[in-house]
């Protein structure tokens, strides 16, 4: 698997839909745009092929400067990830690894590709790294960091006052980039929402115009910070549904599950029903330990939370739940005044 490198956008790139990109990009590609300032800002998009908002916001941004006949305020390196999956509007194909889980070594061809991207970006002495995603369930727009250093938090806050700190899975791009620059992941709501494109566009333009990222965290007013404590998985090949009537399934979850994202759920909250008592949900904490018994209780068929949590990324799309997880469990926390990892 080869990394394609373009010294400027190939013809047509700025107008193609995600499922048409394959016409000009033979596969995963790094596209380099010249700007007034060095070092470059690094952006990643379409690591998940069904998450188009990042591409659309980047296209809009570049087109704006071209229409004004002006140079970008800062150089920009754009990594476009899973072009093949984007053609089919899939997160990934089953024969592929998840492109946001390839950034911490491994023996897939995609792991070599990731190493090559990391090496190029590191050598560019990159200004900052922003990986742009959509969520498959309803969530507010939020930013994720894998370190709590002030520049990371300050960069995140330019996008949203809702901040999620997590350390697992550690194979994500933002974690790899955090070794050498302020690095965040942004979650820009559901795919296809024009507001998401506009919000990401405005955020990226702000970032392109930054001279520096403020090194201190002076004011925490309005900031909602959460840290991930665990994620919920369903057993492989289990049958799941999102409708209380689907009793032929192994598990059924409440049908508005994704509307609970970022809500403070008290203990004993009902999240679904288990119709196959031989199976159990799996809850994995940030140390990769099974902690299901700390979080989940079964009352007859009901599945209830054993302790208060704030969920995020709860999804009601069966395929995504199997490919990734049902969702994450978080806790609110306060950042120290000058947050440091
Ligand atoms: Zn994603």
Indicate whether 246 pLDDT > 80. no
Note the pLDDT of residue 340.
52
Tell whether 98 is covered by a domain: yes
Domain range for 93: 4-216
Indicate whether 341 pLDDT > 60. no
Residues 187 and 295 in one domain: no
User: How much distance in Å is there from the Cα of 152 to the middle of ligand 1?
Assistant: 19
Note the pLDDT of residue 314.
95
Residues 103 and 185 in one domain: yes
Tally the C-alpha atoms within 13 A of residue 116's C-alpha that lie toward its C-beta: 14
- Check if the beta carbon of residue 100 is closer than 8 Å to that of residue 172: yes
CB atoms within 10 A of CB 38: 11
Tell whether 224 is covered by a domain: no
User: How much distance in Å is there from the Cα of 133 to the middle of ligand 1?
Assistant: 4
User: How much distance in Å is there from the Cα of 84 to the middle of ligand 1?
Assistant: 15
User: How much distance in Å is there from the Cα of 301 to the middle of ligand 1?
Assistant: 32
pLDDT grade for 153, boundaries at 50, 70 and 90: very high
User: How much distance in Å is there from the Cα of 75 to the middle of ligand 1?
Assistant: 25
Note the pLDDT of residue 336.
72
- Asked if residue 39 has a cis previous peptide bond (ω within 30° of 0), the answer is yes
Indicate whether 216 pLDDT > 80. yes
User: How much distance in Å is there from the Cα of 67 to the middle of ligand 1?
Assistant: 30
Among 190, 216, 242, the domain-final residue is: 216
When the pLDDT of each residue in the chain is averaged and rounded to a whole number, the result is 95
Note the pLDDT of residue 206.
98
Indicate whether 67 pLDDT > 90. yes
Among 181, 216, 251, the domain-final residue is: 216
Note the pLDDT of residue 339.
52
User: How much distance in Å is there from the Cα of 135 to the middle of ligand 1?
Assistant: 6
Residues 163 and 237 in one domain: no
CA distances from 261 to 257, 265, 309, 310 (A): 8, 9, 10, 7
Tell whether 9 is covered by a domain: yes
User: How much distance in Å is there from the Cα of 132 to the middle of ligand 1?
Assistant: 8
Tell whether 198 is covered by a domain: yes
DSSP letter string over 58-93? Answer: HHHHHHHHHHTT--EEEEEEEEE--HHHHHTT-S--
- Check if the beta carbon of residue 147 is closer than 8 Å to that of residue 178: yes
pLDDT (average), residues 54-75: 97
User: How much distance in Å is there from the Cα of 51 to the middle of ligand 1?
Assistant: 6
User: How much distance in Å is there from the Cα of 10 to the middle of ligand 1?
Assistant: 25
Residues 239 and 187 in one domain: no
Residues 261 and 183 in one domain: no
- Total domain count, the chain: 2
Residues 140 and 185 in one domain: yes
DSSP letter string over 125-177? Answer: T-SEEEEEE--SS----EEEESS--HHHHHHHHTT-SEEEE---STTSHHHHH
Q: At what angle do helices 194-208 and 53-67 cross, to 10 degrees?
A: 60
CA 313 to chain centroid: 10
User: How much distance in Å is there from the Cα of 1 to the middle of ligand 1?
Assistant: 21
Tell whether 339 is covered by a domain: no
Among 164, 193, 216, the domain-final residue is: 216
Model confidence pLDDT, tens digit, residues 80-111: 999 999 999 999 999 999 999 999 999 999 99
Q: Which of 97, 228, 234 is nearest to 173 (CA)?
A: 97
Note the pLDDT of residue 210.
97
- Check if the beta carbon of residue 340 is closer than 8 Å to that of residue 150: yes
CA distances from 31 to 121, 186, 286 (A): 12, 20, 34
Residues 197 and 289 in one domain: no
Of the two residues 115 and 169, the one the predictor is more confident about is: 115
Q: What is the model's pTM?
A: 0.93
Tell whether 169 is covered by a domain: yes
């Amino acid at each position: 698997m080869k990394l394609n490198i373009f010294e400027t956008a190939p013809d047509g790139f700025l107008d193609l839909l995600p499922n048409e990109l394959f016409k000009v990009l033979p596969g995963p590609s790094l596209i380099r745009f010249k700007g007034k300032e060095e070092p470059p800002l690094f952006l990643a998009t379409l690591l998940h092929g069904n998450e188009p908002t990042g591409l659309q916001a980047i296209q809009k941004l570049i087109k704006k400067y071209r229409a004004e006949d002006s140079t970008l305020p800062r150089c920009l390196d754009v990594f476009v990830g899973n072009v093949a999956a984007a053609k089919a509007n899939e997160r990934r194909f089953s024969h592929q690894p998840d492109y946001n889980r390839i950034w911490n070594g491994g023996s897939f061809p995609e792991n070599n590709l990731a190493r090559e991207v990391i090496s190029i970006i590191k050598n560019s002495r990159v200004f900052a790294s922003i990986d742009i995603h959509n969520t498959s369930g309803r969530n507010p727009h939020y930013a994720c960091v894998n370190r709590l250093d002030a520049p990371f938090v300050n960069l995140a806050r330019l996008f949203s006052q809702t901040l999620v700190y997590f350390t697992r899975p550690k194979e994500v791009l933002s974690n790899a980039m955090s070794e050498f620059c302020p690095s965040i992941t942004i979650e820009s709501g559901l795919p296809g929402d024009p507001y998401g494109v506009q919000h990401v566009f405005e955020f990226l333009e702000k970032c392109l115009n930054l001279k520096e990222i403020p090194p201190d965290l002076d004011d925490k007013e309005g900031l909602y910070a959460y840290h991930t404590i665990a994620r919920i998985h369903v057993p492989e090949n289990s049958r799941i549904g999102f409708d209380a009537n689907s009793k032929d399934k192994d598990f059924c979850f409440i049908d508005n599950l994704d509307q609970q994202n970022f809500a403070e759920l008290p203990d004993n909250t009902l999240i679904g029903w288990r119709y196959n008592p031989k199976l159990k949900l799996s809850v994995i904490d940030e140390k990769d330990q099974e902690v299901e018994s700390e979080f989940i209780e079964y009352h007859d068929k009901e599945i209830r939370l054993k302790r208060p949590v704030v969920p995020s990324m709860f999804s009601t799309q069966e395929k995504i739940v199997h490919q990734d997880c049902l969702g994450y469990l978080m806790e609110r926390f306060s950042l120290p005044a000058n947050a440091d990892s």
